[in-house]
Amino acid sequence: MMRVMPNAKINARTAAKEASHERIVAVAARAIRRSGYDGTGVADIMKEAGLTHGAFYAHFPSREAMLAEAAGRACAESAAAAADAVASAPDGKALERMLRAYLSKEHQAHADIGCPLAALGSETPRQTPEVRRTTTRHVKAMVDLVARQSPDWGQPSAHEQALVAIATMVGALMLARAVDEPGLADRLRETALNQLLPADA
């Protein structure tokens, strides 16, 4: 007769809890981008994650703690997508690849898996310091990523141009999602893209 060692049971419980926690955070990261911070409730998140409402407090001390972690996950996913776009681009085309992906109709249509800055920007000032700190780190990382694609990288002008690019990208996408005229949404994205693309693109 085989006996299950206590450590094996503990490890299995720990692994199961970690998997459940990851599932909750992944669901919440999509939910905040889809419905906003205020539109994201604990009961809905737990249901979508396939867990009971009562299990929530085994993972988070509060709804705010979950939202902060979800914001971190959303930012990490967005940063990874931008880094992938840069890494897979031909030499000299990384910035163009990133801009075209960000200001695409597909990105506009899928807020729940896209950039949290465009999905949540207007709500973020009213969130907890943890959420705002996470957002600040993400903005700085994105500015740095864009600046590093500039031929002026290493000069103050590269950083300034990156600040303008990020502000334009996020603003154009937010407005494109806000309007109810598809043609206007397209023009907002396309005009921003044309202004930001390098002259030789």
Say if residue 131's pLDDT is above 50: yes
- Res 48 pLDDT > 70: yes
Contact 188/170 with Cβ under 8 angstroms?
A: no
113 DSSP 8-state letter: G
Residue at token pair 């200001």: 103
* Whether this model's pTM surpasses 0.75: yes
What would the two tokens of residue 27 be?
Answer: 């669901």
CB distance 89 to 96 below 8 Å: yes
Q: Tell me the C-alpha distance between 30 and 35, whole Å.
A: 9
Which of 46-55, 83-92, 113-122 comes out lowest in average pLDDT? 83-92
| DSSP states along 8-67 | HHHHHHHHHHHHHHHHHHHHHHHHHHHH-STT--HHHHHHHTT--GGGGGGT-SSHHHHH
Q: Give 9-18 contacts, CB < 8 A, sequence gap 24+.
A: 17/58, 17/59
Mean predicted confidence (pLDDT) in 48-62: 92
Write the pLDDT tens digit of every residue in 147-176: 999 888 888 899 999 999 999 999 999 999
The predicted-structure confidence for 6-25, as pLDDT tens digits, reads as follows: 566 667 777 778 999 999 99
Residue 94 CA: distances (Å) to CA of 14, 91, 167, 198: 41, 7, 18, 11
Superfamily name with CATH number, domain 6-196 = Tetracycline Repressor, domain 2 (1.10.357.10)
Give the long-range contacts of residues 42-51, CB within 8 A, separation 24 or more.
42/66, 49/20, 49/23, 49/24, 50/23, 51/20, 51/23, 51/24
What is the Cα–Cα distance from 111 to 116, expressed in whole angstroms?
8
Q: Please tell me the distance from the alpha carbon of residue 118 to that of residue 188, in angstroms, as a whole number.
A: 14
User: Structural domain boundaries of the chain?
Assistant: 6-196
What is residue 180's DSSP assignment?
A: S
